[in-house]
Amino acid sequence: MLSPDSIELADMAARWRSAYVHIPFCRRRCPYCDFAVVAPGDPHADDLAGLTQRYLAALHAEIDIQSEVDNGLAGESLDAINLGGGTPSSIGATAIGEIVEHLDSRFGLAPGAEVSIEANPEDVSEELVDGLLAVGVNRVSIGVQSFDDEVLRFLGRAHTAEQAGAALEMCVPRFACGVDLIFGAPGESLDSWRATVASALSVYPHHLSAYGLTVEAGTALWRAVRAGASAPDPDDQADKYEVVQAAAADANLVQYEVSNYARPGFTCRYNLSTWGQGEYVGLGVGAHGHRNAVRSRNVRSVLAYVKALEAGDLPEAGREVPVEPEMERLILGVRRSCGVDLGEWEEAAASHAGLQRLVAAGVIEIRRGRLRVLRPLLADDVAATVLSLSP
């Protein structure tokens, strides 16, 4: 079995084809979240049940249109479906099953395809687990974020630590199950974070994602910080990053990307493919796609999305052909633990002062034409330096 951080696996993933499906509905809007989301209290959301039905009808219409664009991702079946959000688990297994079945009938699913959804702990029940398994879902990522109720309150989450633990107990034995965590919320102590990581790893999940809390413009957290509330502290986040890196390694989870760890055989196909410039169709509000070397993005307003499809139009907000696809390959590739082949940039990298400084400082290595980031926390700085390369 290939290790999650192997070059061979990353190269295979670059050829996988996926579908990303965005389900925007959430029970409440977390104050830090900038995703395309609809929550109670939003304008136009007074009839959420009705809006959900219209949205799902529009989504199915988009699947029909997109599958005719080029006979389904150049005629090949899908290696991965990822339902993300928003909160896909909030629409229930029947609606999830209808989407999976529709994608299968239109695009086809490759044998052993990954069928993955993001789930919030408060939605997880034995009934949901049985229902998801029955409709072919084989992978679940649970949005745990923290096992500290005070941190969960700060993050505005709708679940408790106990509910998160119960959700993992139900899901780890029956799916390839991931735990998603956030570190560095103001008020979270280092001990609290250590305890969160230990609790997450104690269930021996198949996958772990850990992201530092970021303050996204326009969110309630951003407004609070502008009004004087504490912001996440980069030094504190760096310490917490090292805590999770070390604990994951002790638990035999292999780091394969800046923020992602997996047991061998359980990398997230969809994610690994996107970091390798794999092709994916993006379906739903705010979804991004990458097909035939074109990157596209859908409108972010649910009403605009629904209305476009009700009129028989694609809900696209824009599309572009990357000016430098080879540079894009490098920028995405540096995020992976296996690094990226420098290709035509090898010579330029050897004489690039900025990159050579990073080599000398032990931040990156360049060996046999491949650049690898040794200190993943600095991957964004490395990417910025890579951007200044010219072939």
Q: Work out whether 26 is an interface residue with ligand SF4 (CB under 6 A).
A: yes
Over the window 101 to 140, marking each residue x when it contacts ligand SF4 by CB under 6 A and - when it does not, the resulting string is -------------------x--------------------
Write down the least CB distance from residue 30 to ligand SAM, Å. 6
Q: How far is CA 232 from CA 33, 43, 67, 236, in A?
A: 15, 30, 43, 8
Please say which residue, 270 or 345, places its beta carbon nearer to ligand SF4.
270
Please say which residue, 34 or 328, places its beta carbon nearer to ligand SF4.
34
Strand-pairing partners, residue 295, are 290, 320
Q: Work out whether 289 is an interface residue with ligand SF4 (CB under 6 A).
A: no
Figure out which of the listed residues 3, 7, 35, 377 binds ligand SF4, where binding follows CB under 6 A.
35
Token pair listed for 149: 């109720």
Q: Work out whether 342 is an interface residue with ligand SF4 (CB under 6 A).
A: no
Estimate to the nearest angstrom the gap between the alpha carbon of 107 and the chain centroid: 22
In the list ligand SAM, ligand SF4, none, the entry touching 29 (Cβ below 5 to 8 angstroms by class) is ligand SF4
Token pair listed for 178: 């991931």
277 torsion bin: left (phi>0), alpha (psi -120 to 50), beta (else): left
In the list ligand SAM, ligand SF4, none, the entry touching 211 (Cβ below 5 to 8 angstroms by class) is ligand SAM
Q: How far is CA 387 from CA 177, 326, 331, 341, 382, in A?
A: 35, 11, 7, 15, 9
Q: Which stretch binds ligand SF4 (CB under 6 A): 31-39, 215-223, 243-251, 339-347?
A: 31-39
Q: Per this entry, what is the length of the chain?
A: 391
Write down the least CB distance from residue 114 to ligand SAM, Å. 17
Name the 3-class secondary structure at 169.
helix
In the list ligand SAM, ligand SF4, none, the entry touching 6 (Cβ below 5 to 8 angstroms by class) is none
The single residue listed with the structure tokens 């979804």 is 287
Write down the least CB distance from residue 33 to ligand SF4, Å. 3
Write down the least CB distance from residue 157 to ligand SF4, Å. 7
Please say which residue, 32 or 345, places its beta carbon nearer to ligand SAM.
32
Helix (H) or strand (E) holding 290: strand 288-291
User: CA-CA distance, 91 to 36, in Å (whole number)?
Assistant: 16
User: CA-CA distance, 74 to 212, in Å (whole number)?
Assistant: 37
Token pair listed for 318: 């824009």
Please say which residue, 84 or 339, places its beta carbon nearer to ligand SAM.
84
Q: Are residues 146 and 185 in contact, defined by beta-carbon separation less than 8 angstroms?
A: yes
Q: Are residues 375 and 363 in contact, defined by beta-carbon separation less than 8 angstroms?
A: yes
Q: Work out whether 85 is an interface residue with ligand SF4 (CB under 6 A).
A: yes
Please say which residue, 33 or 177, places its beta carbon nearer to ligand SAM.
33
Strand-pairing partners, residue 119, are 142
* Residue of this chain nearest to ligand SAM (CB atom): 143
Nearest Cα neighbor of 86 from 47, 123, 126 is 123
In the list ligand SAM, ligand SF4, none, the entry touching 340 (Cβ below 5 to 8 angstroms by class) is none
Write down the least CB distance from residue 210 to ligand SF4, Å. 15
Write down the least CB distance from residue 29 to ligand SAM, Å. 10
Residues that bind ligand SF4 (CB under 6 A): 26, 29-30, 33, 35, 37, 85-87, 120, 143
